[in-house]
Amino acid sequence: MNLSKLARAGPVLLATLLLGACATTANIDFRQGYDFSPLRSFRIGAAQTPASADPRVNSPLVDRRIRTAIAAWLKAHGYQVVSQGGDARLAYRIGTRSGLENYDSGVSFGYGAFGRHTALGFGYGFPLYDVDTYDDAILTIDIHDARDDSLLWRGSSSRRLGDGNTPEKLDELVNGLVSDVLDHYPPGKKH
């Protein structure tokens, strides 16, 4: 591939890399061999304990956001939300996990094109060895058989929990977590 083709493909490659870095991964488990197709109505139960001690997620306001986001997702995907009975009971819990992130040296490169001219550049970042802490919010959603309360399906996902949250940022966080998890229901669904 010559440099002019690389220069034209660069923005697409960069966007792909950036989107891939932002992607979240849900952890899913389910009872294999179970037919999920008859489950059409869901009762959303109370949040499961243990609740997180972190006041950023241990709040009736966050709990309401989770319930609202789950109900909205279910309705948008053709399921019925009921207050009693139902084919299945949906339960959830939210918690936090702390982690460390370190920044050290690195190598980077760049390229550019102007008219018939192209150029490549390389750079080296000197060792900084900076360490930051962060917190992730983790949402776990369980689906239980309404007849015997056995666990049929479990999904969980995490997203970075920022400081200085606003109601809008919390709405975005909760809606994103619920979608990250429930977009994998039912098992075998194409994503």
CA 84 to chain CA centroid, Å, is 29
Locate 85 and state its tokens: 């009975």
Q: Measured between alpha carbons, how far is residue 40 from residues 32, 81, 88 in Å?
A: 19, 9, 8
Task: Give 104-128 pLDDT, tens digit per residue.
Answer: 666 777 778 777 878 877 676 665 6
Share of the chain above pLDDT 90, in %: 53
Kindly list the structural domains of the chain, giving each domain's residue range(s) and its CATH number in brackets, ordered by start. 23-98+136-182 (3.30.160.670)
| pTM summary value | 0.73
Locate 61 and state its tokens: 């306001």
Q: By three-state DSSP, how is residue 182 classified?
A: helix
